[in-house]
Structure formats: C-alpha cells, structure tokens
Structure 1
Amino acid sequence: MAKILGLGGIFIRCRDVKAYRNWWSEVMGLDMSDWGTFEWEDIKTSRSMFSPFSDDSDYFSPSEHRVMINLQVEDVHELIERARSGGADIIGEIDVNEYGTFGWFIDPEGYKIELWEAPSAPSK
C-alpha cells in the first residue's frame, strides 16, 4: 500500500501576497523564489507532523484561523525578537521543555506561528 512520505507544502491564501512574502523574507530571513516557494534540506533532526486538533482547542488562540504553522528553527529566541521587530504580535513567553524550545507569534495575515527548536542532543 502506498504511504504518505512527508509534508509537501503549506499553502496560504492572503490579502497581499507580495507584502506577506516580503515580510517573511525581510523580517524572518526566509528566502523565497519569485513565485513564493522556499526549499530546505532534510536533516536527521527534522520531522514534519500532521496533527489534527479538536475544534474547541484553544492552542491556536488568539488567532481565529483554523490552521497554525510550526516551523523548526535554529534559534527560537533570535527569531522571536526578529518577529517582534518586524511588527508581529508575540504570544506568551518562550517555553523550554523536554521537547525543545517553543515560541509563538501572530504573523501579518493573522496566522499563529509556532517556532520549534529541537532539544540538544544529550551529552555522552
């Protein structure tokens, strides 16, 4: 039986595509092609998740969108500050736990973005 191999992409409708793409490029450093895509190399510590949430979940709050985007990043603290400097609304405090480091913000289109920095490998 054929199986799903991974996340192919995230597609978002937005009011001003150019401004939205520019914000992600200029503020968050996400280099995109002229038609709006970016690519990354698969790394051993990376993983993609598809995770349905209950309709009454407040995990996406305060965004009213029914989609939240989680991005695996190298430095949550730096990127939260870049998002703040770029005008994003920062949600709560950065959370460091056994699953890694997490930070959240609302992007210019009102989507809640979760930044995830994988936990460091245990020292031997």
Structure 2
Amino acid sequence: MAKIQALGGVFFKTADPDSLAAWYQQHLGLGVAEDYCGANFSPSQYPQGGFTLWSLFPKDSTYFAEDFIVNFIVDDVAGALVQVKLGDATDIKGPVLDPCGSFGWFTDPAGHRVELWQPPTDN
C-alpha cells in the first residue's frame, strides 16, 4: 500500500497573492520564492521539538471556527503576534502556554485564520 510521507503544502486562495506574500514576508519573515509563489519548509529547518501535525477535530469543535486552520512554527510567538498586529492583522489572541508549547492566533489581511506555535524548549 502506498503511504503518505509528509505534508506537501498549504494553499490559500486570495485576491492579491503578491500583496499577501509581501505581508507575510514583512511581518513574519516568510521567505516566498518568486518562481513558484511559495515558501519551502525543509525538515532540517525545524526547531528542536518541532514537527508537522495532521489532526482531525470534531465538526462541533470550538478550537477554530473555520473548516481548517494553518499552523506555522515560529521562534517567538509573543514577538510574532506584536509584528502581525503592527501589520493590521485582526482577531489576535495569545500567547497561550500549554505543555505542547506556546500558541497564538490571528487573522491575516485576506481573512485567513492562522495559528502560531512555538515548541517547548525542554524536549
């Protein structure tokens, strides 16, 4: 049987891809390659304790209201939330600490809900 080996990508539809890519570059340092309008996350770039998670939630979950949410690993959740606020992100929440690390949330200028995760450093 063929098996999934890794997460291959996350794709958003947006009215102005260049503008939204520039926003992520400016406010979260996301390096977007012009030749394919994307950012490559190699496993070797993950911080200690970082990983990609695929998870299903019950339809009535209140963890997020959308059908899906994107989670980015960051090196400083609190700092990233300040940066996105300066970039006019909305509905900012966090940071919230739990045994899995530190989390924060925001809505980007195109209306996409995003979760930020800083893995715990004691792994």
TM range (shorter): 0.7 to 0.9
What TM-score, normalized to structure 2?
A: 0.87
RMSD: 1.6
Contact persistence 1:84–1:90 (CA under 8 A): no
Q: Is the Cα contact below 8 Å between 1:102 and 1:114 reproduced in 2?
A: yes
Structure 2 equivalent of residue 98 of structure 1:
99
Q: Distance in 2 between matches of 1:84 and 1:96?
A: 19
Q: Report the equivalent of 2:33.
A: 33
Question: Helix, strand or coil: the match of 1:26?
Answer: helix
The count of aligned residue pairs is 119
Q: Could you tell me which residue of structure 2 aligns to residue 73 of structure 1?
A: 74
Q: Distance in 2 between matches of 1:39 and 1:85?
A: 25
Give the counterpart letter for 1:78 in structure 2: G
Distance 1:57 1:15 in 2: 29
Cα distance, 1:18 vs structure 2: 1.3
Residue deviations 1:75-111 (CA, integer Å, cap 9, x gap): 1011111000000014333101111000110111211
5+ unaligned residues in a row in structure 1: which ranges? none
State how far apart, in whole Å, the 1-side matches of 2:84 and 2:101 are. Answer: 19
Q: Which runs of 5+ in 2 are unaligned?
A: none
Deviation of 1:49 after TM superposition, in Å, equals 1.4
Following superposition, the deviation at residue 40 of structure 1 comes to 2.5
**Range 40-49 or range 86-95, more displaced:** 40-49
Match runs of 1:1-124 below 5 Å: 1-34=1-34, 35-42=36-43, 43=46, 45-61=49-65, 65-121=66-122
**More displaced, 36-45 or 71-80?**
36-45
How far apart, CA to CA, are the structure 1 residues paired with 2:14 and 2:25? Answer: 16
Tell me the distance in 2 between the aligned counterparts of 1:12 and 1:6.
Answer: 19
Moved >4 Å (runs of 4+):
none
Tell me which protein shows more helix as a share of its residues.
2
